[in-house]
Amino acid sequence: MSVNMVELSVKAAEPIRTAGILQQNRVFLDFFWDLAKPDQEVRLKAIEDLIQYLKTNNKADELEYTFKRLVDGLGHTREAARPGFSLALGQVLSSFEDVPLQNILNRIKDKHNLQAVKKKLLRNALFGNLFGVLALHQSSRLSKEPQVVLGCVQLLQSLSQHRQHLKDLPTKTMMDILTEIPEEVFEEVLLSALQTDLASAFRTPEQLQLLLVALQRFPQTLKPKKLKKLLGSSTIINADNIPKLTEVLKMAALSVKKERVLPAVVLDLLKLSLKEDSFQLFWNNAIVNGMLKEQPGPTHYLSFRLLGSALPLLSVAQLKEVLSGGVMMHYGEHVVSAQKPDRFKLAPEMDSYVSDFLQGCQDPDKQLAVMVGFSSLTNQGYPVVPSVWRVVQHLQPAALRRYVEWLKKTFLQPRLDELLDFSTRKQKDNQEGREQKENSVLRLRKWIIARLSSIIDNHQVKRQEDLIMDVARFVFFHAFFSAKKASADIPETGGKLSVPLDDKTRGVLVNSFFGLLLSMHHLPQSEESAEGAPANQKRALGVTADGTMWIYHLVQYAQVLLNQPKHVQSSQPFSPEQRQAWDSMLESVANLNKKAKKGPTAENTAFQQLFLLVGMHLFKAPEELLDIMKDLQSCVDKAQEKKTKKKKKKKQATEQEEEPEWVEVMVDILLSLLSQPSRHIRQVCKAVFSSICPHVTAAALTAILDVLDPEKDEEDCAVVVTDDNKTQKKPDEEDEEEHDEEMEEDDESDGLDDDSDEDEDDDEEDDEPMEEEEEELEAEEVDQNFRLELMKVLQQQNALATEEDGSDEDLDDEAMMKLDKGMAALFSEQKKKTQAKRDEKTKLHKEKTLVRDFRIKVLDLVEVFVARQAGSPLVLGLVEPLLTIIDRGMSSDSDQQEQDFLRRAADIFRNQLCRSKVYCRTVGDRQGELHDLLDKLMTTSQKLSDSSVCLYYFSASLYVVKVLRGAPPAESKEEQPADGAAPHDLSFMGGVDVDRVSSVFKEALSSFMSRRKSPLSAQMFTDLFNRFPVLCVNLLDAALQHITSGVRVHQQGQACVLVLRAMQSREVQQLLSGAPWTQLCVKVTGQLTTSLQQVPQADSKVVKEKVVKSLELAQFLVKHVQQQKLSVDLEPLQKVLQSLTGVITFKKTGKLEDTYWAVMKLFGVMKPKVEKTKPDKEEQQVPKKKKGFLPETKKRKKRMKPDSEAAGDSSASADKPGADEGQAKKKHDKKTKQKRLADGAAASQPSPAKKGKTHSESKAAKKKKKKKKQKKEGGGKL
């Protein structure tokens, strides 16, 4: 519309020109079209091109037309177009400074006149004026023309009345204009125009912000005297204005309710209060006593956002004041109450505010004040910020050190009165004085421990090694020791506990310490020490800058504590035997260190880690680990002796027969350590086993496999479970008691080193319905016994009604009391029995869960052994045990944990054992044993019922054949030609008894082809053929026979697939090259001919699939015979194929049809082309019934006139053009009747069925009938 109007105006303005702008330059007009497009890049490109075009051509009429189009586009109906036209107008004005801005402003006012515009176009006109002013502002020329500035401001003032459309955009535009004009222009021109707006600054947030912007830009003009004239006071923030400011702040909070942001006017007010030195007045009266007196909602959220935004602006004293006031208290209540999922949470916003502040602030004092302030906000002792608060990573090293010192001091001497503590309503109702105070101390200490641990665990934190060691020493000291007397050598003895540590806190400390050990085990070496290392070398983990392990430093610290009993007391003192084990551990580590200096090895490092870790765990469970420590020391000693004294093996042979090998003892130690609920121990055990893998014996491997076998070693497993339960009892009880009290953040910090605790909790929740079902099953048995006891009680009190007694006689009060006591005792006893049974079931289930978890850990050792010793003959002993695990796991109804165990075992077996490129190549004297194993595996696989389990057994059989074959000789590899493998290379089978193995697989193949339900599949034999061509050649005849002799049609098709895959193999073609290959082709041709002759006429899906497989084989065979020009008679096959069309009905297209014609094409027979014939329209026409017409069977039979009379009448009526309406109607009826009669059977055949219809017709049939009727009615209307 606008384009057409422009065309007319241009042509009318210049009638002399032979062609208007439209016809003159289409490129020029396309710029304006692009300005209205939604794509921003297209609009920006159009603006650049337009300005370049105008500067190049420099034509006055085009410039005039440009201004007209741009001003018109300011009020465009498309929202995306308005900014494009506005920006274009501003850039054009900036480029052509000789154009007066006043003319453009007048043109904007005239074009988008609010008085003359229609009501429907008022919104467009409003935006046209607004974007016009924005364009003038963007031209950067407003400051040069003061009158235009005044006109723009006046126009914006008139627009500000239409808030329903423009909201606060006019006021914001005025603020933008004020930021660019000089003070002289403001004082001379704008001050008088803006006087009304500035005087009413306390009415709306926009007007207040306008005043604040003017104060910031023109402080010399708006002096206190001028402010007093405008507002009645020389300052904005004072006691008289606080109520007005509070109301404005409330309005601002409601205006951004949906946007969830901090209004700019609020932050400007805060900055002004700091400038006027009235921050305390503003904060306490306007925010705390004003905004926070409202109900929780937008006003509270605005206060919290203002607190976060104010952090960079405040001094240290102001930060401490604000962070210990009412806003923080309300923020803490919000965080606690917003834990429910549907509540709005402002905590993430506050985290970003604090993170931005810490990142931008370089003052350690301010950083410390903020961290201490937020950490001091507690809910009954527990801080509301999470213990793993990520903002700590932005702290400066000095601030971090001071923050850690504050945490340690608060742990030792918790002063709850110095914290900003609050309680919810429910907590206030349940408060009980002293107990509540002790509970608060426990909660605070628990959070502090988790906070210290998370600082070490977060690798982004800028912490130094001495700080890490300081935290680890602090946690270790208070977990296992207490100070008697201060010592200069032990700084931790200097701090005294104001409240003694209870057992729960010590339990948390112990768990946190071992979690710290795990974190330190994964700590990368500091960057300073890593600078000298080569670029490609990985940074060492778990060591300090000098290369010493972190845990070694902690062991040395523990030794210092143990050697000073006067100053330090252990919470669990060592017995003499335990102390001796500790000392011998230190000695063993020292010996390993000496040997490591000569030549460091992974084995030495692993043994050191194991010694040190078991030594640290002595403090936690000394009785359990004492024997393990002794065995470990003897094992390491024997291992070292074996290396240094190899010559004495023969002399000690008899002794070694009596005593177990050191590796076997070491494996037993590792298995017992794996029962400990510690991820750190699990990782160290894995590393140690990796280092001793080359020394593992068959007995040691058997010990590992016995653990994985459910039927073996059940008693030992039960012992392990019992021990685990004892060690895990305290943390579990603690978690259950405090689960309801503490917030969600606490869950992330507890039990860092305990994987199985969480699993146990989950399993307990999952098993509640299971326990209920079991109780229901036993209810009948319980009811019988309970019923007898109940009858006895009732009979003793004569409470049972008999035939002789009356039923309406009541017992007296004394008898009733006795009866109640007896029944209460009976029900109480019954309840105890039920609870005892339930506890027993829960205990048994926990034991099963722990056993499964233990076996999953033991699989780590199996995985390590397979990865490190894949070429060892011992790996062959893993095949059957792993298959047994998979078989039992598949057949049992397992829960999630059992499925994880099964999935892990299957992955180790298939991906790391069977598919490994490294395998045992030196079978030695075990060839007979492996052949027996192969027989056993294949026999078992045929008896299985699950095909998925059979797949693993078949993979194991292929693995055994691969091991028996071994690697081909090196000479044959060197002599191998470039074009492919030589035949003698392909026939190499190493130690495989080809006849025996072929008979085994031949038996399996016949089982697959002769059984209706076989677990074997064609894909298994395809893998066998691909990997072992020699066996493929031996099995080919058997597979070929089953093309016709398969028990089912499906098996016959699968036999075709196997033969096809075998013939497609290059290796098989090379092995059978020459006459054998020709004979094979002849046999395949005969079998295919016989098979296709036997195809039944039934068009079943299975038969068609078999025919497709046969045709695919025939296609390869015919093509190959023709290419190689082999002497094979294909004529019988061709005849059978030609007769196949009479047996099976072919469609136009499909896999069967396409494959068939592809084969026939090889014989020279092309697929016949079907000519598309258009059906006769008259024959295809369906009679269309009019609305309301009855079917023929429902009509009354009328006398039909003879055909001659009907023809005569019709011709007579046709000859008379002036026939009346009745005759025309008769004519129409006759035509429709003739049409129906012509269709004959279509109308007459369904009539009996329609007559015989009953009320039992289905709904689907009725719907069909309705649809057909509607279609016919539609046709009648047409």
For residue range 532-572, list pLDDT tens digits in order: 455 445 667 878 888 888 899 999 999 999 988 888 888 88
Q: Which of 1053, 1045, 1266 is nearest to 1152 (CA)?
A: 1053
Looking at residues 28-42, what average pLDDT do you find? 88
Contact by Cβ (8 Å): 510, 501? no
Helix or strand holding residue 456 (H, E): helix 434-457
Q: How far apart are CA 1146 and CA 1133, in angstroms?
A: 19
Residues in Cβ contact with 424 at an 8 Å cutoff, skipping those fewer than 6 apart: 333, 336, 337, 379
Judging by DSSP bridges, how do beta strands 420-422 and 377-379 pair with one another?
parallel
Give residue 783's pLDDT: 58
Q: Between the ranges 482-496, 530-544, 737-751, 979-993, where is the mean pLDDT highest?
A: 482-496
Structure token digits, residue 414: 């918790």
Task: Give ∠ CA 1085-1090-1094 in degrees, rounded to 5.
Answer: 145
Give residue 476's pLDDT: 93
Task: Look at residue 9 and tell me whether its pLDDT is greater than 60.
Answer: no
Give residue 809's pLDDT: 52
What is the rounded end-to-end Cα distance, in angstroms, of the chain? 39
Q: pLDDT tens digit string along 1184-1207?
A: 555 566 666 666 655 544 444 444
- Which residue bears the tokens 């289409």? 26
Number of C-beta neighbours around residue 764 at 10 A: 16
Contact by Cβ (8 Å): 472, 516? yes
Q: pLDDT tens digit string along 933-958?
A: 999 999 999 998 888 999 999 999 99
Cα–Cα distances in angstroms (integers) from residue 1197 to residues 1194, 1200, 1228, in the given order: 9, 9, 19
Q: List the single range of 291-300, 489-498, 596-605, 768-777 with lowest mean pLDDT.
A: 768-777
Contact by Cβ (8 Å): 963, 916? no
Give residue 744's pLDDT: 42
Q: Which of 466, 462, 479 is nearest to 514 (CA)?
A: 479
Give residue 404's pLDDT: 94
Q: List the single range of 617-626, 701-710, 759-768 with lowest mean pLDDT.
A: 759-768
Task: Look at residue 133 and tell me whether its pLDDT is greater than 60.
Answer: yes
**Strands across the sheet with 382-383, in order?**
382-383, 377-379, 420-422
In one-letter notation, the amino acid at residue 481 is F
Task: Look at residue 1180 and tell me whether its pLDDT is greater than 80.
Answer: no
Work out the burial of residue 669: count CB atoms within 10 Å of its CB; fewer than 13 is exposed, 13-18 middle, 19 or more buried. buried
Q: How far apart are CA 797 and CA 801, in angstroms?
A: 11
Give residue 844's pLDDT: 86
- Main-chain phi, psi angles of 36, to 5 degrees: -95, 0
Task: Look at residue 724 and tell me whether its pLDDT is greater than 50.
Answer: no
In one-letter notation, the amino acid at residue 171 is T
Q: pLDDT tens digit string along 700-717?
A: 888 888 888 766 644 444
Strand, coil or helix: what is 1247? Answer: helix
pLDDT-based confidence at residue 591 (cuts at 50, 70, 90): confident
Q: How far apart are CA 1117 and CA 1140, in angstroms?
A: 18
Q: List the single range of 526-535, 889-898, 1060-1069 with lowest mean pLDDT.
A: 526-535
pLDDT-based confidence at residue 811 (cuts at 50, 70, 90): low
pLDDT-based confidence at residue 1259 (cuts at 50, 70, 90): very low
Structure token digits, residue 391: 């903002």
Contact by Cβ (8 Å): 1064, 1029? no
Q: pLDDT tens digit string along 883-936?
A: 988 888 887 766 787 888 888 889 998 888 888 888 887 776 788 888 999 999
Give residue 444's pLDDT: 93
Structure token digits, residue 299: 């006003």
Task: Look at residue 309 and tell me whether its pLDDT is greater than 90.
Answer: yes
Find residue 482's DSSP bridge partners.
569
Exposed e or buried b per residue across 616-648, where buried means at least 16 C-beta atoms within 10 angstroms of its C-beta: bbbbbebebbbebbbbbbebbebbbebeeeeee
Give residue 477's pLDDT: 92
Q: How far is CA 409 from the centre of its chain?
A: 40
| DSSP state letter for 914 | I
Give residue 800's pLDDT: 56
Exposed e or buried b per residue across 233-255, where buried means at least 16 C-beta atoms within 10 angstroms of its C-beta: eebbbeeebbebbbebbbbbbeb
Cα atoms found within 13 Å of the Cα of residue 669, Cβ hemisphere only: 27
Task: Look at residue 1238 and tell me whether its pLDDT is greater than 60.
Answer: no
Instruction: Provide the percentage of residues in the chain whose pLDDT is more than 70.
Output: 77
Contact by Cβ (8 Å): 628, 727? no
Q: Which of 87, 79, 76 is nearest to 1 (CA)?
A: 76
Q: How far apart are CA 167 and CA 108, in angstroms?
A: 21
- The rounded mean pLDDT for the chain is 78
Judging by DSSP bridges, how do beta strands 420-422 and 481-483 pair with one another?
unpaired
Q: List the single range of 723-732, 1083-1092, 1188-1197 with lowest mean pLDDT.
A: 723-732
pTM across the whole model: 0.69
Task: Look at residue 751 and tell me whether its pLDDT is greater than 50.
Answer: no
Q: List the single range of 109-123, 229-243, 630-644, 990-1004 with lowest mean pLDDT.
A: 630-644
Structure token digits, residue 1177: 């329209």
Residues in Cβ contact with 570 at an 8 Å cutoff, skipping those fewer than 6 apart: 480, 481, 561, 562
Q: What angle in degrees, to the nearest 10, is found between the helix axes of 756-766 and 714-738?
A: 80
pLDDT-based confidence at residue 1056 (cuts at 50, 70, 90): very high
How many residues are listed for the chain in this entry? 1278
Task: Look at residue 806 and tell me whether its pLDDT is greater than 80.
Answer: no
Task: Look at residue 375 and tell me whether its pLDDT is greater than 80.
Answer: yes
More confident residue, 627 or 368: 368
pLDDT-based confidence at residue 405 (cuts at 50, 70, 90): very high
pLDDT-based confidence at residue 607 (cuts at 50, 70, 90): confident
Q: In sequence order, what E strands does 468-616 have?
A: 481-483, 568-570
| DSSP state letter for 524 | B
Task: Look at residue 57 and tell me whether its pLDDT is greater than 80.
Answer: yes
Q: How far apart are CA 913 and CA 907, in angstroms?
A: 9
Give residue 1192's pLDDT: 65
| DSSP state letter for 161 | T
Cα–Cα distances in angstroms (integers) from residue 479 to residues 475, 509, 622, 676, 1226, in the given order: 6, 5, 15, 19, 112
In one-letter notation, the amino acid at residue 409 is K
Cα–Cα distances in angstroms (integers) from residue 561 to residues 42, 558, 567, 889, in the given order: 75, 5, 8, 50
Q: Which of 724, 742, 726 is nearest to 681 (CA)?
A: 724
